[in-house]
Amino acid sequence: MARTPAGTPQHPGGAERFNEERAAQTVASAQPDLEGGVQAIRDTVKVLKPVPGVYRMLDARGEVLYVGKARSLKARVANYTQIAGLSGRLQRMVSQTRAMEIITTNSEAEALLLEAQLIKRFRPPFNVLLRDDKSFPFILLRADHAFPRIQKHRGARRAKGNYYGPFASAGSVNTTLNALQKLFLLRSCTDSFFNNRDRPCLLYQIKRCSAPCVGRIDEGGYDALVRQAKDFLSGKSGAVQADLERQMAEAAENLDFETAAMLRDRLRAATFIQGSQAINAAGLGDADVFALAASKGQMSVQSFFIRGGQNWGHRALFPRHTADVDEAQVLADVMLQFYEEVPPPPTILVDRELPEGELIEAALSELAGRKVRLSIPERGDRRKLMAQAQRNAVEALERRLAETGTKARLNRELAEFLELDTPPQRIEVYDNSHIQGAKAVGAMVVAGPEGFEKGQYRKFNIREAQSNDDFAMMREVMARRFRAWRDDEEGPTPSPSREREGSETWRTEGEPSRSGVGTSHDTILPDLILIDGGKGQLSSVMAVLEEIGIADDIAVVGIAKGPHHGREGREVFHFPDGREKMLPAGSPLLFHLQNLRDEVHRYVIGAHRAKRSKAITASPLDEIPGIGPARKRALLLHFGTASKVRAAALEDLQRAPGVSAAVARKVYDFYHAAG
């Protein structure tokens, strides 16, 4: 199959994986472009002042190559014009630079925080990048209800309450939540479920809730449980256990054996939580531990999360673009990006001296709103804890290298099986889901050399394809996916970037900036497209690609279930020229391709179910333009049903509480304009 022409801009792996081959070009090959890059930087230096701030280097397409911070912008940026003193990596960066964007800040600490924020947003190819497919989960004990709810939480912390975390994974949160429910009997149900109960639910029967919804515990008793939970999660677990032991002994003395047995079970839950701590962190309070290991050009950063003297899990982080970067600088960059998502604890233990350590402390203290201290353990329990983190970092890196070797081998086998010139760096897999044409959704998942790139997944709400036509749905998905790429090639529309409020921003002369959209999947061509389907779906895809003019640039293969609908694992692979191939049952490559296909199945079915669920709860009032949720709620509460709203006279609509005359007229005209 034909491959993508050398002149076609490619970003394998999407915004998170810039073309590593392009970033690894030799200095000699980039030498002819150095003069242009140096001149663009010199033009910027002319207008700079010796003030703190952040700078971005942009290539000819306006994409962000590098984000840096400086105490003095003028002096720092001027250093890039001294080519002889730059490393090979920085020379490659300068050779591609054609414009710069500058943001001034009030202090160097603020610049450091903004630098980390922009790196996470733009994912530049010459910065150290922390891969973060998912945010870290927390436990949230809400404070907006008379009977607070305990729950798992991800994302922005908008709800009022106490947040405890981060936890290393959703599994560790779920395990801890289950034990906490047994220990403190706090409710986990939603407010609507709580308000509509007339008898206890199953959680009360299995002794994981105190059933405040039906009055099995009063507000004062529930508040006592909430206080105990806060104490336990804040590190006062010993006092909580002692109190439970005292209550159990009193119940036994009073021959209240049922209460004593319940308290015994709660004590067991507390023991389980503490016994599951594989790391001894007693007396440490709230702290994070970071240790770095390096081998064969790759690095691993092991992080331990200690809260209230309890281990809440650990995670191995694998930063990218670390070639020619000092290990201590990599660790500093990883930490700053890490704390863009997670509140810094008072103590951070590291295994080495970090560059600009005092500045990092000041920046994290500003971010946390209190003092944050970096420390290198030298003796005692903290040193043992750090040794354990270092050992985990080495082991995680060894596993990573082994997995990378396996994936590289599978990629080579895939290229050979599908007759590709080189192993694919970006694979896109497509499928659609619907029920007899209703609520149709298409989906794209992306895989790179290191696994699935979940930040690049995309859903398509099918709008044009009619009825139960799978082929038309696939044509629509592919057309929307690749027409955006064609439009970008013909001339993208500049997208203004959004900066931190209060910062001064300007841009030097050059190509229009597309930094807000320039690295999205709309502007990336894959090396391989896998279609879940047979000849019909494959033909639909090829027709769209030929219309756009990229059919010869991308390898396309259809995966169809073989005999007995794939129960024997004998998928058939369809090629655009009509040939078919199969792999032996049990082949590792077959399993790899099935895994790609199953991932797009999972993603598209989830999107379809979400669309169906939303449709079930939809109201006919949603169709009225300019009427928000509050007005819809007021109308439904007053009239009872949407049909009565539709039949109401204008005067009746105006009498509804919270509905103005203008809103009433808008609703009335929507239903009666045709008449």
Res 118 pLDDT > 90:
yes
Whichever domain contains 668, its CATH number is: 1.10.150.20
Using 50, 70 and 90 to split pLDDT, how confident is the model at 261? confident
**How far apart are the C-alpha atoms of 558 and 572, rounded to whole Å?**
8
pLDDT at 487: 62
Backbone φ and ψ for 290, nearest 5 degrees, come out as: -130, 130
CA separation for the pair 168, 150 (Å, rounded)? 18
pLDDT score of 562 = 67
Q: Is residue 430 part of a domain?
A: yes
Per-residue pLDDT, averaged over 213-226, amounts to: 90
**Whose structure tokens read 């494959």?**
538
Q: How many DSSP H helices and E strands does the chain contain?
A: 21, 20
Tokens standing for residue 638: 């007053």
Predicted local confidence at residue 518, as pLDDT: 37
**Alpha-carbon distance 141 to 641, whole Å?**
36
- The pLDDT of residue 599 is above 60: yes
β-pair type (161-164, 287-295): unpaired
Higher pLDDT, 466 or 211: 211
Same domain (yes/no): 214, 302: no
Q: Is residue 6 part of a domain?
A: no
pLDDT at 258: 73
Which of 368, 401, 434 is the last residue in one of the domains? Answer: 401
pLDDT tens, position by position, 307-337? 877 777 788 889 988 888 899 999 999 999 9
pLDDT score, position 65: 94
Same domain, 470 and 566: yes
Is the domain of 154 the same as that of 42? no
583 and 553 both lie in a single domain: yes
How crowded is residue 108: how many other Cβ atoms within 10 Å of its Cβ?
Answer: 18
| Residue 391's CATH number | 3.30.420
Q: Bigger pLDDT: 221 or 7?
A: 221
565-593 pLDDT per residue, tens: 545 557 889 999 888 888 888 888 998 89
Above pLDDT 70, what percent of the chain?
A: 81
Question: Which pLDDT does position 299 carry in this prediction?
Answer: 93
Residues 458 and 598 in one domain: yes
Q: How far apart are CA 377 and CA 385, in angstroms?
A: 9
Find residue 153's DSSP bridge partners. 138
Beta strands per DSSP E along 80-119 = 99-104
User: Which residue among 275, 301, 336 closes a domain?
Assistant: 275
* Residue 11 in domain: no
Report the pLDDT averaged over residues 245-257: 78
Closest by Cα among 614, 588, 277 to 438: 614
- List pLDDT tens digits, range 52-92: 999 999 998 889 999 999 999 999 999 999 988 888 889 99
Cα(254)–Cα(250) distance, integer angstroms = 6
Residue 609: which CATH number?
3.30.420.340
- Smallest CA-to-CA distance from 517 within 538, 498, 536 is with 498
Nearest residue to 57 (alpha-carbon basis) of 21, 83, 94 = 94
pLDDT tens readout for residues 600-624:
989 888 877 777 666 555 566 666 7
Q: Is residue 295 part of a domain?
A: yes
Q: Which pLDDT belongs to residue 465? A: 63
The 10s digit of each residue's pLDDT in 456-465 is: 898 888 877 6
Q: Position 273: which residue type?
A: I
Condensed to tens digits (0 to 9), the pLDDT of residues 346-366 reads 999 999 999 999 999 999 999
Comparison of pLDDT for 48 and 235, the residue scoring more: 48
Return the pLDDT at 273. Answer: 58
C-beta neighbour count of 84 within 10 angstroms: 5
Q: Mean pLDDT in the chain? A: 80
| Averaged pLDDT, 464-469 | 68
Residue 571 sits in the same domain as residue 447: yes
The predicted pLDDT at position 248 comes to 80
- Find the mean pLDDT for residues 390-407: 88
CATH for 34: 3.40.1440.10
Does pLDDT of 280 surpass 60?
Answer: no
**420 found inside a domain:** no
pLDDT at 1: 38
48 or 565, higher pLDDT: 48
Domain boundary among 353, 369, 401: 401
CA nearest neighbour of 363 among 322, 332, 330: 332
Q: In the prediction, which pLDDT does 406 show?
A: 84
Q: What total of structural domains would you count in the chain?
A: 5
Question: For residue range 88-114, what is the model confidence (pLDDT) as tens digits?
Answer: 889 999 999 999 999 999 999 999 999
- Nearby residues of 125 by Cβ (< 8 Å), 6 or more positions away: 18, 19, 22, 23, 65, 66, 321
Q: Give the pLDDT mean for 277-283.
A: 55
Cα atoms in the Cβ-side hemisphere of radius 13 Å centred on 335: 35
**Residues 81, 103 within the same domain:** yes
Quote the domain boundaries for residue 95. 18-122
Name the strand (E) or helix (H) holding 343.
none
For residue 671 the two structure tokens come to: 């239903």
Helix (H) or strand (E) holding 302: strand 298-307
Q: Is 300 in the same domain as 396? A: yes
149 and 244 share one domain:
yes
Angle 547-12-538 from CA coordinates, rounded to 5°: 35
Amino acid residing at 634: A
Q: 504 in a domain, yes or no?
A: no
pLDDT-based confidence at residue 395 (cuts at 50, 70, 90): very high
CA separation, residue 520 to residues 12, 93, 488 (Å): 12, 21, 11
pLDDT in tens, 156-212: 788 888 888 788 777 778 877 887 888 788 999 988 888 888 888 888 888 889 999
Q: Is residue 643 one of the residues assigned to a domain?
A: yes
Q: Are residues 557 and 447 in the same domain?
A: yes
Residue 83 lies in a domain: yes
**Whether 468 and 602 share a structural domain:** yes
Distance of CA 246 to the CA centre of its chain: 45
Bridge partners of 66, per DSSP, are 57
pLDDT at 271: 65
Q: Do 364 and 475 belong together in one domain?
A: no
Sorting pLDDT into bands at 50, 70 and 90, what band is 278?
A: very low
Contact status, residue 598 vs residue 638, Cβ threshold 8 Å: no
pLDDT digit string, tens, across residues 123-162:
899 999 886 556 788 889 998 888 999 999 887 788 888 8
Q: Given the DSSP bridges, would you call strands 373-375 and 427-435 parallel, antiparallel or unpaired?
A: unpaired
When pLDDT is cut at 50, 70 and 90, the band that residue 499 belongs to is very low
Nearest C-alpha neighbor of 232 from the set 185, 191, 199, 294: 185
Q: 567 or 628: whose pLDDT is higher?
A: 628
pLDDT at 304 over 70: yes
Q: Classify the C-alpha dihedral 278-280-284-287 as positive or negative.
A: negative
Specify which of 167-171, 236-240, 341-345, 371-375 reaches the highest per-range mean pLDDT. 371-375
Q: Which residue has the tokens 């895939």?
A: 414
